[in-house]
């Protein structure tokens, strides 16, 4: 959606309320107390409805991210628009500048929208090809924090060569993508896996959330030995050796690796840093690579 299309769709608060009601109540608005469809908005406050049957007042925004928010609904919708169009994410300060609110409000709006986008009721991948891979999030160690740095060379910021991937103190994240609709399920590995080699059990536990053997999925992986037991667990397992090639026809893990690239570009370019605390308590998420 372009900026001009957004303005045409949401010219005022009433347009936002009507749009929301059409999505949440496709058969017409119903009272939250008695279920009656004989409800009408108040003239002074269009976000509040009165019921003709039980004579109670209710809000159609109850149990949503808009509940009890005094921020303009147009600002909420524009914040959602910016987040959906910002493929690598948007910072709280940027949102503050864009919609004209305080940083505290912008930060809360971002958190609420992310929670709403988090699909806890994710669907399982069935009859499709899935790719599974792992990545490590945490950035380079700061000066004096590198364990492999007994005698760091001068001019290196106090550290030797920083390890990447397995063997670091970064937090491992495991992701599974469906080639059918490019939906991604990603989850932070157990906190005690930080700095350790991921086990086959951890990898398969994440895979089983969205892809069980009976789902008739083909599982694509790289040559990491942690994926060796997949066939023993009755998965159809194909793998690509990245030392030889990136893809062998349809056998590749390019989709999940592309997702990791977008994730890390967002960290480097937008957020710059993610604390270990925020990483290890990360939520389970399902999203689209193209969003």
DSSP single-letter state for residue 112: H
Helices 103-117 and 92-99 cross at an angle (nearest 10°) of: 110
Query: Could you give phi then psi for residue 220, rounded to 5 degrees?
Result: -105, 135
Tokens found for residue 126: 């069935």
SS (H, E, C) 153-164: CCCCCCCCCCCC
Domain boundaries, the chain: 3-117, 129-288
For the chain, how many residues are written?
A: 291
Tokens found for residue 245: 């090639």
Under-50 pLDDT residues of the chain: 146-160, 280-291
Neighbouring-strand partners of residue 287: 184
pLDDT per position as a tens digit, 158-209: 444 555 556 567 788 899 999 988 888 888 876 555 556 688 898 999 999 9
Contact 252, 240 (CB under 8 A): yes
Q: Which fold has domain 129-288?
A: Nucleotidyltransferase; domain 5 (3.30.420)
| pTM more than 0.75 | no
The rounded distance, in Å, linking the Cα atoms of 67 and 73 is 11
Largest Cα–Cα distance in the chain?
Answer: 79
Q: How far apart are the first and last CA of the chain?
A: 12
DSSP single-letter state for residue 270: I
pLDDT per position as a tens digit, 130-167: 999 998 887 665 555 544 444 444 444 444 455 555 65
């Amino acid at each position: 959606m372009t900026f001009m299309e957004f303005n045409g769709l949401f010219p005022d608060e009433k347009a936002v309320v009507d749009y929301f009601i059409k999505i949440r109540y496709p058969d017409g608005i119903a009272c939250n107390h008695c279920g009656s469809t004989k409800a009408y908005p108040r003239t002074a406050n269009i976000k509040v409805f009165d019921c003709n049957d039980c004579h109670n007042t209710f809000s159609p925004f109850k149990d949503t991210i808009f509940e009890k928010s005094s921020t303009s609904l147009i600002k909420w919708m524009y914040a959602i628009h910016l987040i959906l169009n910002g493929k690598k994410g948007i910072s709280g300060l940027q949102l503050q500048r864009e919609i004209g609110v305080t940083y505290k409000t912008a930060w809360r709006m971002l958190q609420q929208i992310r929670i709403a986008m988090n699909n806890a009721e994710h669907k399982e991948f069935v009859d499709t090809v899935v790719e599974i891979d792992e990545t490590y999030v945490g950035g380079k160690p700061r000066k004096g924090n590198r364990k492999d740095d007994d005698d760091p060379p001068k001019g290196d910021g106090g550290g030797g060569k920083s390890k990447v991937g397995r063997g670091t103190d970064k937090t491992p994240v495991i992701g599974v993508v469906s080639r059918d609709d490019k939906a991604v399920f990603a989850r932070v590995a157990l906190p005690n896996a930080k700095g350790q080699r991921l086990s086959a059990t951890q990898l398969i536990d994440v895979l089983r959330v969205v892809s069980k053997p009976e789902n008739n999925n083909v599982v694509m992986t790289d040559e990491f030995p942690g994926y060796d037991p997949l066939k023993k667990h009755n998965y159809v397992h194909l793998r690509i050796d990245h030392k030889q090639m990136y893809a062998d026809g349809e056998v590749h893990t390019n989709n999940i690796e592309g997702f990791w690239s977008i994730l890390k570009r967002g960290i480097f370019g937008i957020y710059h840093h993610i604390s270990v605390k925020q990483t290890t308590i990360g939520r389970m998420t399902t999203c689209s690579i193209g969003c």
